[in-house]
Amino acid sequence: MSIVITGATGQLGRHVVEALLERNVPAAEIVAAGRSIEKLADFAARGVQVRAMDYTDATSVALALQGAHKVLLISGSEVGQRVDQHRTVIEAAKAEGVELLAYTSVANADTTGMKLAAEHQATEAILKDSGVPFAILRNGWYLENYTDQLQGTLAQGALAGSAGEGKVSAAARLDYAEAAAAVLVAENQAGKVYELGGDHAFTLSELAQEISAAANKPVVYQDLPASDYAGLLAGFGVPELFADILADSDLGIARGDLLVSGSDLRTLIGRPTTPMPAAVRSALAAV
């Protein structure tokens, strides 16, 4: 058995490798693949196979997937280029005859109108037409999308957004990683589609209230028109294209696009998902 984790140098990928090791998958049967293999030296020291792989380089992808039985395709980070990159991995997986390719998509990919979802929707369509046995992990929003910005939020005394009173089913990155590992080690996963999100959805107003209470400092939620929010993000250095996508995603939250019903995530990881208040307090302790 060989399990290849693509994008293993990223935070999600690293968590997945750790989760597989914790599930007693032999290190020699795990392949951590990514662009900067020097970032994977710690895994190599523990016996994990480390291979250089760039989504834009079909040869490197094919080499990274040699001998693979199962593959986790972690979606790329380069918006606008991801469909071709994902196709490259899917084609290499097909050529290798993998037993399963699991793909990290986005919550409610079949119904959402978010701009961020378009490349995920295209990738899901490629997968379904490829003939490769697949499982789709439709990951919801990460709690880290908010907790990683706590210093700025506290400095401003405000959490800005365009989500209105829409609720988001966010969970910790580690939760999603453990779910991916669970699918990779399980049998009979081909054709499964998992809608993954936190147990308790919350509004951004509720998030601001929790930050305020945990930090003992006034923090309010400031709801803005999407164009104004995109401009604010751009002013903080977020590239204009991505700022527009983030603002549009908040509009998706307002519509309920990132509200996940069901308990797929909790069931896969075998425990409750990380609560938003706990994530906020943990992040504040680290600030």
Summarised one tens digit per residue, pLDDT across range 102-124 is 999 999 999 999 999 999 999 99
Residues 145-164: tens digit of each pLDDT? 999 999 999 999 999 999 99
User: pTM higher than 0.85 for the full model?
Assistant: yes
Residues with Cβ within 8 Å of residue 25, at least 6 apart in sequence:
1, 3, 185
What tokens appear for 50 in the block?
Answer: 């480390």
CATH 1.10.3720.10 fits 143-168+199-260+274-285, yes or no: no
Domain 3-141+172-196 fold: Rossmann fold (3.40.50)
Q: Amino acid identity, residue 245?
A: I
Question: With bands split at pLDDT 50, 70 and 90, how would you rate the model's confidence at 77?
Answer: confident
Q: Write phi, then psi, for 28 (nearest 5 degrees).
A: -65, -15
Q: Are 84 and 103 in contact (CB under 8 A)?
A: no
The three-state secondary structure class of 115 is helix
What pLDDT score does 266 carry? 98
What pLDDT score does 80 carry? 75
Q: Region 201-225: what's the mean pLDDT?
A: 97
Q: Are 146 and 249 in contact (CB under 8 A)?
A: no
Cα gap 72→54, rounded to integer Å: 15
Domain ranges of the chain: 3-141+172-196, 143-168+199-260+274-285
